[in-house]
Amino acid sequence: MIVTVTPNPSLDRSVLLDRLDRGEVHRAGGVHVDPGGKGVNVARVLTAADHSTVAVLPTGGVEGNSLAELLAPEAVSVVEVPVEAATRSNLTLVEADGTTTKINEPGNALTTGELEALRTRLGEMATRARWVVASGSLPHGCPDDYYAGLVRTARAAGAKVAVDSSGAALAEACAAGPDLLAPNLAELTELAGHRPADLAEVAATARAVRSEGTGSVLVTLGERGALLVGGESAWFGTSNARRVRSTVGAGDAALAGYLLAGGDGPEALRSAVAYGSAAVELPGSRMPTPKELRIEQVRITEVDESGRLDPTSP
């Protein structure tokens, strides 16, 4: 079983536009409302692939009730931790050419008792899990080391832990020694303090992060694919999306695909890239199913010093 924990879930409203013009009135071409939050998205992908999954999340207010209701038709098993504050709502504006503008609310603060209840519930579920996925932003006022504490809790329960977050929360989680770190390029850049100039530098930066105690590092690179550093090797995977409709949740889909394929090595990377590519072809915050994959289109190569970070790099 894989357990996901999302301290700052959301309702995601995606609005489709021909083009976004600042200061103008727009007429929406369509609206999608989806359950949101990075861990929630991972759980949706895993469930669609018939993998045993439980999503642990705080829910509050009408928005929290709506979030749980939206997950029910997708058959996602949810363990709710009731909280006083309302669950946040996010807005995504998707233009016809695939350009995505995302407006995320910070998320209302959780009390110390609510955060502890979430950690305790996760610890209980982790005793039955092979992997725990801790992902997404932290709600307003949450301590930066909260994910680090969740890593220790899950590891103590016998589960492997994957973390996908950003900023200080990601840095603190690294120090706790997760089994997998899954940043995108911007998050890796922030963590390292410099932007890698090419694929070889991305690999070197991920290796430096790994040397601090992380098991493996999976770096998602948007439409360029993803890079995996584990052990002494690094691999790059790429695939061409037929049409980019929305980039929301693509990294979450990639992480789910990686874990579905065993969570280790180049074949798991192949699955990650296939899922990430399938996600960007879907509208709004929809998550891909196995039927929407084109895994045969994914190319995997070992990274060497001549690798360049561009869409044509092998």
Catalytic residues: 252
Q: Collect all residues with Cβ–Cβ distance below 8 Å to 11 and sequence separation of at least 6.
A: 33, 34, 35, 36, 63, 66, 67, 70, 87, 88, 89, 90
| CA pair distance 44, 76, nearest whole angstrom | 6
Backbone angles phi, psi at 237, to 5 degrees: -120, 140
The angle at the Cα of 8, spanning 176 to 246, to the nearest 5 degrees, equals 105
Distance separating alpha carbons of residues 116 and 107, to the nearest angstrom: 17
| Residue showing tokens 């995505």 | 100
Strands 226-230 and 100-103: unpaired
Q: How far is CA 45 from CA 102, 112, 139, 214, in A?
A: 21, 31, 23, 24
Assess contact for 1 and 23: CB atoms under 8 A: no
> How far is Cα 209 from Cα 53, in angstroms, rounded to an integer?
29
Q: Within 10 Å of residue 28's Cβ, how many Cβ atoms?
A: 11
